[in-house]
Chain A
Amino acid sequence: MTGSTPGSGALVELSGVGLEIAHPVRTRILQPTDLEIVAGESVAIVGPSGAGKTTLASIIGTLQSPSEGSYRFAGQEMVGKTRKELARFRAGQLGFVFQQAHLVEYRTARANVELGLTDPSLNRAGRRELSMEALRRVGLHRLGERLAAHLSGGEQQRVAIARALVKAPSLVIADEPTSALDQRTGQAILELLAGVGTLGATLVLVTHDERAMGTAGRVVTIVDGGIRP
């Protein structure tokens, strides 16, 4: 893809992006927010529960559209795009890791990773190879043929990370990926995500985890739906 953009050169560029919902009652969830993230950066979004961290991450991930403001990704305006265009954008550029791994239980680890591959020009062998490589990166290449239902919670989250990374996205968005795991396992997951930068990807990590703030290049704190300066 063409990463070079005219102007600032930021990968993610939010200006005045906010979210207000009308139903059931008019509620402001995100204050108009400015945020720039440059390519290769690793940003941790922290803040108290209910502050709006997930909301901000989901807007960056185009899982929902802001009600105001402008969101440019690699120089391209995202606000106003159709659902179909946004789906194609996510397919090409974004990788997600959620609190739950959401694996298809009756498929193998490798098959789950393959679901993350959205490039239709890949053949079967290519898909398999990329998936095994992604599993190797998260240390699970030996469990590739194991059913997802038989994996431990930590292993499932690793598969989810492999699924997010397999298409070599330019931006990885992770929303509290360690909150369902114990301390040690969570630590390992954070280290894996910290390594995303070495693959050339940008990381947005929503977390409560103190340790994550240490590994992140920048910490953005959200309170009451707005970024605290």
Chain B
Amino acid sequence: MTTTPASDLASRARQRVGEVVRVSADAARALIQRPMHTLAMIAGVMLAVASATAGVVVADTQQARIDLRFDLQRSDHVVIQADDLPPAGFPAQQLRRLVALEPVTAAGELSIWDHSARVSRSIPDTPVTSNVVVADVGGLAAAGVLGRSGAPLELISATSGAPVAWIGDRLAARLGVAPATGSPGAGQDAQILVDGTPLSVAGVVSAPSAFGYLSGAVVVSRATAVEHVSGAGENMRVVAQVRPGAAKAVGGYATQALDPQGDAGLRDLTPPDGEILKSNVASDLRRIGMALAVVIGLVGMLTAANTLIMSVYQRRRELGLRSAMGWSRRKIGALLLAESALAGLLAGVLGVGLGFAGAAIWCEVQDWELIIEPLLPVVVLAGGVLASLVGGLLPALKAASISPLTAMRS
């Protein structure tokens, strides 16, 4: 009967562990041997974990896409439009002040002269409706326009009213115009008719997607437009290319610098800052995903609780028998909680797998690269076990309160 306290403690601890293992194994068997019941029990939590996983993965992945898109579109262009300017255009001196600003890399005119000019190669041809754009060297540089063939773009400011135009590559393809390549200034035999006025094609240009309309446009200098192309111009715009993020500030300053008296009726058309928009979309997506998962999780918890309550009712004789055989109420409650926890773990593992698979398929279809937060599986797994455990509380209490008499009286 006499044992040293230490060894007594150790053997008691070993027995405790043995009990826990046995109860867990008991619970595991109850789950394994009744697969349909187990499936009914875990279905809700499993779906919740799956939707949480898929939701967050898709949100994160979409987030990355949005980041990318906004990076591309990040407002690095200032656009200022004048409503009341004389046909002579922006005063050159004031434009120079804009270019001199530190964040500005290039700036100049890029105006629409006529948005529906009829352009063709010769009179019998069907004309193509195009933009006639008035630009100077700075404006084309700010828009990222590149010369593809023909005369260098820099010559546009030196045309001094001659009937010469550059055309966008898309328009060139439609008209079948190809000025002699690699021979700037030479062999310009290509001619186009713009609203009936013949202009010779000096070169073909290409434009980045942000200024995609230039690919289908006829680009001329202001002097050429005034002298040869009908109309008086639709708008007058200055475009400046700036350091990313500086657009709004430069825009505000530029309206002041270009028109200190406010005579020209300048308007700042700089697009809104992508940064702010981006972070709004980001947190919204995740929040919606999480809220959805919580709602499904609650439903799943109730489903698990309901299934387990019914199971306790079904097994009340067995549980009453355990009580009659001397199982304490705590141990019977623990048996049920172990069942819930194991079911939650199963639901979590299956749900995480299902969620990742769903997200992977979705992103594969969208051709997106999957973005996975490394902690996500752990968090949603723990959430699933927790939901299942909470759902198991009431059934466990119910099971623990079954009288040992139940075994005798049925």
Q: Which residue numbers of A lie inside 8 Å of B, CB to CB?
A: 54, 57-58, 61, 63-64, 83-84, 87-92, 94, 96, 98, 100, 102, 104, 106-107, 115-116, 118, 120-121, 123, 163, 175
Contact = CB atoms under 8 A, between A and B. Distances in A.
B29 A102 contact: no
A96 B15 CA distance: 25
B23 to A, nearest CB: 11
B317 A96 contact: no
Interface string B323-342: 11111110000000000000
Given A63-B403, A120-B19, A121-B15, A54 B409 contact: yes
A63 B18 contact: no
Contact of B324 (A63, A84, A88): A63
A118 B325 contact: yes
Contacts of B410: 100
Contacts of A106: 29-30, 33-34
Given A88-B328, A91-B326, A94-B326, A58 B34 contact: no
A95 to B, nearest CB: 8
B328 A84 contact: yes
6 cross-chain pairs, A with B, having the tightest CB-CB distances, nearest first: A91-B326, A106-B33, A90-B326, A120-B15, A102-B321, A63-B404
Contacts of B324: 61, 63, 90, 96
10 contacts: A54-B409, A61-B324, A63-B403, A63-B408, A90-B404, A91-B325, A91-B327, A96-B321, A96-B407, A120-B15
Interface of B: 11, 15-16, 18-19, 29-30, 33-34, 317-318, 320-329, 403-405, 407-410
A107 B318 CA distance: 12
Given A63-B404, A100-B317, A87 B329 contact: yes
Contact of B326 (A57, A87, A102, A175): A87
Given A102-B318, A107-B29, A116-B325, 7 more contacts: A54-B408, A63-B407, A84-B328, A88-B326, A90-B324, A106-B34, A120-B16
A66 to B, nearest CB: 13
Given A64-B405, A102-B317, A120-B15, A96 B33 contact: no
Nearest to B404: A63
Contacts of A94: 326
Contacts of A107: 29, 33
B321 A83 contact: no
A83 B324 CA distance: 11
A105 to B, nearest CB: 8
Contact of A63 (B317, B327, B405): B405
Contacts of B322: 115
B36 to A, nearest CB: 12
Q: Which of A57, A87, A94, A120 has the most CB of B within 10 A?
A: A87
A186 B75 CA distance: 92
A58 B403 CA distance: 12
A122 to B, nearest CB: 9
B29 A92 contact: no
B27 to A, nearest CB: 12
B219 to A, nearest CB: 82
B408 A98 contact: yes
Contact of A102 (B11, B30, B327, B407): B407
Nearest to B410: A100
Contacts of B19: 120
Nearest to A95: B325
A123 B17 CA distance: 12
Contacts of A121: 11, 15
Nearest to A176: B408
A58 B323 CA distance: 13
A163 B318 CA distance: 13
Contacts of A63: 324, 403-405, 407-408
Nearest to A160: B321
B397 to A, nearest CB: 14
A84 B33 CA distance: 30
Given A102-B317, A120-B18, A121-B15, A115 B325 contact: yes
Contacts of B29: 106-107
B208 to A, nearest CB: 69
Nearest to A111: B29
A175 B329 contact: no
Given A106-B34, A120-B18, A98 B407 contact: yes
A146 B317 CA distance: 21
Contacts of B405: 58, 63-64
B334 to A, nearest CB: 14
B266 to A, nearest CB: 83
Nearest to A163: B325
A124 to B, nearest CB: 9
Q: Which of B16, B320, B322 has the most CB of A within 10 A?
A: B322
